[in-house]
Amino acid sequence: DMSREEMRERVLEIKRKLGADLFIPGHHYQKDEVIEFADATGDSLQLAQAAANTTASFIVFCGVHFMAETADILTKENQVVILPDLRAGCSMADMADIHQTERAWEKLQQIFGDTMLPLTYVNSTAAIKAFCGERGGATVTSSNAHKMVSWAFTQKERILFLPDQHLGRNTAFDLGIPLEEMAVWNPITDELEFSGDPSTVKVILWKGHCSVHEKFTVDNIRQIRTEKPDMSIIVHPECTREVVEQSDLAGSTKYIIDMINGAPSGSKWAIGTEMNLVNRIIQAHQDKEIVSLNPNMCPCLTMNRIDLPHLLWALESIEEGNVINRISVEDAVAKNAVFALERMLANA
């Protein structure tokens, strides 16, 4: 068995050998032992842009499945995208499957006719992206959601926002749409959750959520406000409306990093986002007092499946000329999904 140190040496050796033929993007929520080897780190928008621009033959994606799919869609036929552990999925993306979505669309059209534009958070399967792309819609990430939702309303009267109800609600609310004009589509019961007159609905939110960000609660906020009244609370918009409302600031992964980077020495922060990132921010800012908003921390279990042994396994498979875990989106899906992604990249 190899020691950790030997594994690190091997990873570096293969990286040296492959040179510019290899590109390792690493999402901010990845473990330190993986981020250490990333050629680019970023949030999901930055990594999609990086994937669209790389000329490397092999892209070993340190992130989750939907990100690797996006990279495959945005790269050329002869570029190979690898996900070091195929079990690195996303529970939020799993909350909207294409059959549920097609069913929902049909039922919603009976209520709203042809007035809706579908938008999907990039945290979704390639099939959902294709569904949106085919209907004039687009993908969004947490860092361009405001722009994309505003754009959507230049196209249609209403939007269907998949699969994260919280990002959809928080974004629409910021844009001045009252909560009373937002309905929720429940994909389990196939029903619209809305009690008023449907003609007043502006936004239909898919009833999905991120199991990591839902763990930050108003109780956590109350506790910080009581114990550390001078601490600023900053959260990701995948947190619930109540949590975002009671926080001082809310924004994407990149926004959170930029805010802390720009904050004065001695400032105090409670951060509501994934644990690996919060820990790295704490390490990098020893001059500030920083804690996780939820004292139990909140790991994303699927992000954490990518570890040093899996990264090495993926790299060795390239070296041996027999790649494992290739992510390849079928052409029929990719060709429509790319419309949705390109509309986003053009507007972002």
Which residues are near ligand 13P by CB under 6 A? 43-45, 90, 123, 141-143, 210, 238, 252-253
Determine the 3-state secondary structure of 327 from DSSP.
coil
Q: Which two tokens stand for residue 239?
A: 């947190």
Cα 34 from chain centroid? 18
Residue 60 in contact with residue 79, Cβ under 8 Å? no
Helix, coil or strand: residue 4: helix
Instruction: Summarize as ranges the residues that interact with ligand SF4 (CB under 6 A).
Output: 29, 64, 90-92, 123, 210-212, 274, 300, 302-303
Residue 237, annotated ligand binder?
Answer: yes
Query: How many Cβ atoms are within 10 Å of 299's Cβ, its own excluded?
Result: 17
Q: Which does 302 bind (CB under 5 to 8 A by kind): ligand SF4, ligand 13P, none?
A: ligand SF4
Q: Are 260 and 240 in contact (CB under 8 A)?
A: no
Q: Is 238 assigned a ligand-binding role in the annotation?
A: yes
CA 49, 54, 58, 63: dihedral to nearest 10 degrees? -20
Question: Does 142 carry a binding-site annotation?
Answer: yes
Nearer to ligand SF4, 100 or 141 (CB): 141
Q: How far is the CB of 67 from ligand 13P (least distance, A)?
A: 7
Q: Say if residue 27 carries a ligand binding annotation.
A: yes
Per the annotation, does 300 bind a ligand?
yes
Tell me the closest approach of the beta carbon of residue 273 to ligand 13P, in angstroms.
Answer: 8
Pick between residue 34 and residue 300 the one whose CB is nearest to ligand SF4: 300
Question: Is 122 annotated as belonging to a binding site?
Answer: yes
Please name every residue paired with 219 in a beta bridge, in sequence order, or none if there are none: none
The answer to whether residues 2 and 10 touch, using CB atoms and an 8 Å cutoff, is yes
State in angstroms the smallest separation of the CB of 89 from ligand SF4: 8
Residue 188 identity (one-letter amino acid): I
195 annotated ligand-binding residue:
no
Nearest to residue 180, comparing CAs of 212, 160, 202? 202
Count of CA atoms in the C-beta half-sphere (13 A) of 277: 29
* Burial track 138-155 (b if 16+ CB lie within 10 A, e otherwise): bbbbbbbbbebbebbbee
Q: Which is nearer to ligand 13P, 44 or 317 (CB)?
A: 44
Contact 120, 208 (CB under 8 A): no
Minimum Å gap between C-beta 242 and ligand SF4 is: 18
Between 212 and 233, name the residue whose CB sits nearer to ligand SF4: 212
By C-beta, is 236 or 343 nearer to ligand SF4? Answer: 236
Smallest distance, Å, CB 29 to ligand 13P?
Answer: 6
Tell me whether residue 18 or residue 152 sits nearer to ligand 13P (CB atom): 152
Name the binder of 211 from ligand 13P, ligand SF4, none, CB < 5-8 A by kind: ligand SF4
Q: Are 159 and 117 in contact (CB under 8 A)?
A: yes
Asked whether residue 44 is marked as a ligand-binding residue, the answer is: yes
3-class SS of residue 26: strand
Min dist. Cβ of residue 133 to ligand SF4 (A): 21
CB of 90 to ligand SF4, least distance (A): 3
CB 307 within 8 A of CB 34: yes
What's the token pair of residue 120?
């999907």
- Here the tokens at position 224 are 């910080």
Residue among 46 and 123 whose Cβ is closer to ligand SF4 = 123
- Show binding-site residues for iminosuccinate: 27, 44, 121-123, 142, 236-238, 253
- Show binding-site residues for [4Fe-4S] cluster: 90, 210, 300
